[in-house]
Amino acid sequence: MAMAVRVAAGLVVALLLAGDASAATLALYNRCAETVWPGIQPSAGKELLARGGFQLAPNRATSIRLPAGWSGRVWGRQGCSFDAAGRGRCATGDCGGTLYCNGAGGAPPATLAEITLASTPTAQDFYDVSLVDGYNIPIAMTPFHGSGANCVPAGCISDLNRVCPTGLAVRGGGDNRVVGCRSACAAYGAPQYCCTGQFGSPQQCKPTAYSRLFKTACPKAYSYAYDDPTSILTCSAGASYIVTFCPHRR
- Do 77 and 181 belong together in one domain? no
DSSP structure string for 180-249:
EE--HHHHH--HHHHT-GGG-STTT----HHHHHHHHH-TTSB-STT--TTT-EEEETT-EEEEEESTT-
Provide the pLDDT for residue 89: 96
On whether residue 206 sits in a domain, the answer given is yes
- What is the rounded (10 degree) CA torsion for 158, 144, 32, 108? 60
**pLDDT tens digit sequence for 63-90:** 999 999 999 999 999 999 999 999 999 9
Provide the pLDDT for residue 13: 61
- Do 92 and 9 belong together in one domain? yes
- Do 78 and 177 belong together in one domain? no
- Do 192 and 234 belong together in one domain? no
Question: Are the beta carbons of 39 and 77 closer than 8 angstroms?
Answer: yes
Residues of the chain with pLDDT under 70: 1-22, 249-250
- Do 169 and 92 belong together in one domain? no
- Do 147 and 166 belong together in one domain? no
- Do 188 and 82 belong together in one domain? no
Provide the pLDDT for residue 194: 96
- Do 87 and 179 belong together in one domain? no
Provide the pLDDT for residue 20: 56
- Do 165 and 62 belong together in one domain? no
- Do 74 and 100 belong together in one domain? yes
**pLDDT tens digit sequence for 112-135:** 999 999 999 899 999 999 999 999
- Do 153 and 176 belong together in one domain? no
- Do 153 and 236 belong together in one domain? yes
* Domain that includes residue 144, residue range: 2-159+225-245
For residue 9, the domain's CATH number is: 2.60.110.10
Q: The pTM is what?
A: 0.91
On whether residue 74 sits in a domain, the answer given is yes
On whether residue 250 sits in a domain, the answer given is no
